[in-house]
Amino acid sequence: MKMNIDELSVLDYNPRQISPFMMGKLIESILVFPAMLDLRPIVKNGEAHSIGGNQRLTALRRIKDMTKDEIEAALQQQRKYRDKTDEEKQALIDYWLEWQKNPEVEVRDASELTEEEQKEFLAKDNLHYGEDDQNMLIHNFDLALIEDYTGEIIIAHNDNVDYSRSDGDDTQQQGGGDETPEDIILSCGIIAMKLNQDEFNRLSASLEEYKTEKGSTDGFINFLLL
């Protein structure tokens, strides 16, 4: 069923927190792919408190009050939007301007759960039981898009790209020069940097330590620059 977001309230004892940066990424993600909201509904209890999707509900409340220019500025941060035609861009902006007039969202009712079951659902819904295979991502997904969506930094081996050669370098075709070793790259958005094995290992270890301490990779690049 659908409900107006003004009829729903964010649960005040939700243990899941989100940084301002990641809230911005969530807003961008929702704006560029609104169909996902129907696939992942807000879960509410009998008092219309959100026990699942609290951050999405908060993001939607912000979207409801955004101006057209603010919506477009947020969308511009996503390459998926920048790659659209002018007509597709306008259609997406028009969708959100129309949604603002009646800001409804898909909702799942969990009022039949006991209070303890609702707390159990809330705790379990916030858990991440697995982790991404970074090499699987780098070989099967568009990393720039993944980083746009999630704000995550992907560090992985890439044996398909030769970053040691510049355009027009035909040394290897002529049989000269050393054989290019397996590439190790740091990818951050549209920027990729070749690393040696020692640099890769130290950077990966530093990222894991940061992720363990902070709970995410949000702010890792700024941390490195300090």
The residue behind tokens 């989100």 is 18
Query: 100: exposed, middle or buried (C-beta count within 10 Å: 0-12, 13-18, 19+)?
Result: middle
pLDDT at position 67 over 70: yes
Per-residue CA distances from 208 to 145, 155, 202, 204 (Å): 22, 11, 10, 6
How far is residue 209 CA from its own chain's centroid? 21
- What pLDDT does residue 156 have? 52
The enclosing H or E element of 148 equals helix 143-150
Report residue 146's pLDDT band, with 50, 70 and 90 as the boundaries. Answer: confident
Asked if residue 184 has pLDDT above 70, the reply is no
Phi-psi category of residue 168: left, alpha or beta, with phi > 0 → left and psi -120 to 50 → alpha = left
Q: With 90 as the cut, is the pLDDT of residue 28 above it?
A: yes
Whether the pTM exceeds 0.75: the reply is no
Mean pLDDT of the chain, nearest integer = 80
Give the residue carrying structure tokens 């040394």: 171
pLDDT value at residue 142:
78
Q: How far is CA 45 from CA 12, 36, 55, 185, in A?
A: 13, 21, 16, 46
